[in-house]
A and B are shown apart, each in its own frame.
Chain A
Amino acid sequence: MIQAEGILFVVTLALYCITMLLHFFYVAVKKPVLSKLAIRIQFGALLMHTAAIILRGIAMGRLPMANQYEFSTAFAWALTLLSLIFILKFSFPVLGAFASPVMLLLAVYAGVQKLNELRVIEANGIDSIRNLMPALRSSWLGIHVSTVIIAYGAFGVSFVLSIIFLLRDRMKENGFWDTHIPKKEKLDTISYRCVSVGMMFLTVTIGIGGVWAENAWGSYWTWDPKETWALVTWLIYLVYLHLRIRKGWNGRTAALLGVVGFICVLFTYIGVNTLLPGLHSYK
């Protein structure tokens, strides 16, 4: 079962590569058929990825959201899903060309985690990753992780949109960009929609984390590094929401914050685990 999951994961990675290349070709050659194909393959990759995650759950006999590999593959999945939704909802195929490298990078990061895990399995057997310590054996875990991957996925799309926003000024002369990338005002609003999804889910994630921590450890908030960095991320996006309301501050400043916010997300997600140990270190 775990091998089948591994194979599906590799196929997913390959599909992500193809998706990215097709999105790039579309932008290079400007043939709409390529973008249609890219979107179809992205959808196929999403299905394959979903299957891999489900298989993983069956192999583990639990929700597959408890260790760094499972979390990172779910994060890549969420970004793929959300970028697909935003491409289709706003008829914005060019978004794919910018989002797919981020998607692929996250999936590759998950792949690296997978390789680490294979080493652990080889050394200690599969039970060492299948079994969860008592504190993680809680139904809150599933909700907590599901909401946070949606939040991070949405912040990821907003990051990509912010980059497009910041690059848009340089794309003036080229007719293709001008007609295929929404006007700045709309880009800014779509990015705001992404941040709205992210903020809603991040808020719920932090709240659920608090309820869970209260049940598991007796304190809903302990200033553990992961918590603190989730708060930092939350505050950055809160500044984003407030800045946007002030006249003249949406647009460039908001886009810059969209970039800074996602850097915080990545630090909360990877940096904290590797640099700042705490309760969330999955050890």
Chain B
Amino acid sequence: MEILKKIYKFIASMKFAIILLIVVAAACVIGSLVPQGAMFEQYRDSYAERTAAFILAFRLDDVFHSWWFITLTALLCLSVLLCNLSRVRALILLTRNAKDPARAIVEAPTASASGIADPAPVMKRMRFYRPIQTAVDGKEVLFGYRNRLGFWGAWICHIGIVLIVLGYALGQMTLFSAEVYGTPGQTKPIENTQYNVTIDGFTTQRNETGFIEQYVTALTVKNTQTGEAQSGTSSVNHPAVLEGYKFYQTASGDAVRVTISEDGVPFESADLCVGEELTIDFLPGFSLFLNAYEPDHTGSPAYQILFFYNGQHMEVGKNYFAPGAVIDLNPFAITLSDPIEYTLLRVKKDSFAWLVLIGGILTSLGLFFALYVVPETLWAVQDEDGTWTVNGRSKKLAPLFREQFDRAVQKTEGKEASK
């Protein structure tokens, strides 16, 4: 029991917190300096073999997802929670006592001045306009307090941080992320879901100088099981939210519309994006792959197309074809259109982003309360000779508070405050 108590105390201690914060900061520095996600060979080439092995052993190649970084973060949360837990009673007492003159005035003041004929103007100058009039131990007392919320700032901030970490962890564990791309008119499935996406349109908005200002995709998302569908538009900085998924305008690229004809009669057409392969039903085993579109291939635009037969690359002597070209596969022919653009959308669903947002708001609010809502108490006690002793307390900003207090006394009484 004793040992458990000791561990609890240590984890909830500020000392432990400070050590943890420094270690987490150091881990972040490492994670930003060591390139993340590279292969052993790349580390070996940049550093020594030994260092590369060390990097991999301690997951320095992926610091932010490593077991030790996650453990550190979890410990930080535990520490914050235990610290908060152990402080609740003290904080409630602090908050309660701060408004109780009998308890508040026995604690040591930060600043004090005696022999004051009338305390009200001093208090007014300290912006305590309506002090409570009461009696403590048979003595006349004027009493004011403010900003008790400040006591809770750190506590709220700590809760906020835990929510951020929790929301981030849950979000990462349940994150759905995929990509869909296509040309206007195409319908593509969203991997591992029952939804498909139809690209209804894709426009690139340019300003008068031809600079691209925005990419806009119009899309429809359809639940293939229920048949329900929802349409919307997605542009950079303005994702579409459809059927619970968010669609981010992420990239665009070149594509070609190929039209296949037999004896000059077109009978099939399909869009082929750069990086895609087209298999042709009536030529089993045969496929063509759009490797690139080069707007300036030796002076004029051209598609680079590779041909495959049963997965084997076929050398056909020619790989570059101008827009409008016809590839002759007698009796069939493949006609290449002018280039068209495809759009690439990232599809995401983070079911816990709201938790992180709430955590962030609480962290900011807590920080504001802790740093700017500074608790202050001001009280005046009438002495035997009928004059008053005015006292003030503000622990956090003591030197500044003392100066302000002295100035208030000086201005109203025309004399120095005694500290």
Contact = CB atoms under 8 A, between A and B. Distances in A.
Interface in A102-137: 127, 131, 133-135, 137
A32 interface: no
Given A137-B237, A189-B400, A200-B367, 20 more contacts: A127-B209, A131-B211, A133-B212, A135-B237, A140-B237, A196-B372, A204-B364, A216-B237, A217-B250, A218-B177, A218-B248, A218-B346, A225-B32, A229-B28, A232-B28, A239-B21, A239-B25, A246-B14, A276-B32, A276-B33
Given A134-B213, A242-B14, A220 B356 contact: yes
Interface string B350-385: 100100110011011001100110000000000000
Contact of A210 (B212, B246, B250, B360): B360
Given A243-B18, A276-B32, A215 B24 contact: no
B46 interface: no
Given A200-B367, A200-B371, A203-B367, A134 B24 contact: no
B237 A215 contact: yes
B336 to A, nearest CB: 29
B131 to A, nearest CB: 26
B215 interface: yes
B31 interface: yes
Assign chain B's interface to a size class.
Answer: 35 or more
A178 B136 CA distance: 42
A217 B248 contact: yes
A245 interface: yes
Nearest to A135: B236
Given A134-B237, A138-B237, A242 B28 contact: no
B72 to A, nearest CB: 12
Interface string A178-191: 00001101100110
Given A189-B400, A235-B21, A235-B28, A137 B214 contact: yes
Nearest to A224: B32
Interface of A: 127, 131, 133-135, 137-138, 140, 182-183, 185-186, 189-190, 192-193, 196, 199-200, 203-204, 207, 210-212, 214-221, 223, 225, 228-229, 231-232, 235-236, 238-239, 242-243, 245-246, 272, 276
B392 interface: no
B117 interface: no
19 contacts: A137-B236, A140-B237, A189-B399, A190-B400, A193-B400, A199-B371, A200-B367, A203-B367, A207-B361, A217-B250, A218-B248, A218-B346, A223-B31, A228-B32, A235-B28, A238-B21, A245-B14, A246-B18, A276-B33
B29 interface: yes
B22 interface: yes
A220 B353 contact: yes
B236 A218 contact: no
A218 B348 contact: yes
A137 B205 CA distance: 13
A217 B237 CA distance: 8
Contacts of B225: none
Contact of B209 (A131, A185, A231): A131
Given A127-B209, A232-B25, A242 B18 contact: yes
B31 A186 contact: no
Q: Which of B15, B28, B177 has the most CB of A within 10 A?
A: B28
Contacts of B214: 134, 137
A228 B353 contact: no
Contacts of B236: 134-135, 137, 216
A217 to B, nearest CB: 7
Contacts of A203: 363-364, 367
B29 A232 contact: yes
A221 B171 CA distance: 11
A182 B403 CA distance: 12
B342 to A, nearest CB: 17
B340 interface: no
Contact of A242 (B21, B29, B33, B361): B21
Question: Which 7 A-B pairs have CB atoms at the shortest separation, nearest pair first?
Answer: A134-B236, A235-B25, A196-B371, A131-B211, A186-B399, A218-B248, A218-B348
B11 to A, nearest CB: 15
A183 to B, nearest CB: 7
Contact of A185 (B211, B357, B399): B399
Nearest to A268: B32
Nearest to B247: A218
Contact of A207 (B239, B350, B364): B364
B130 to A, nearest CB: 27
Interface string B201-230: 000000101011111000000000000000
Given A137-B236, A216-B236, A232-B25, A200 B209 contact: no
A164 B18 CA distance: 25
A214 B399 CA distance: 43
Nearest to B25: A235
Nearest to A61: B207
Nearest to A278: B32
A242 B17 contact: yes
Contact of A199 (B209, B235, B348, B367): B367
A242 B17 CA distance: 9
A127 B357 CA distance: 37
A243 B356 CA distance: 27
B38 interface: no
A192 B22 CA distance: 19
A28 to B, nearest CB: 28
Nearest to A225: B32
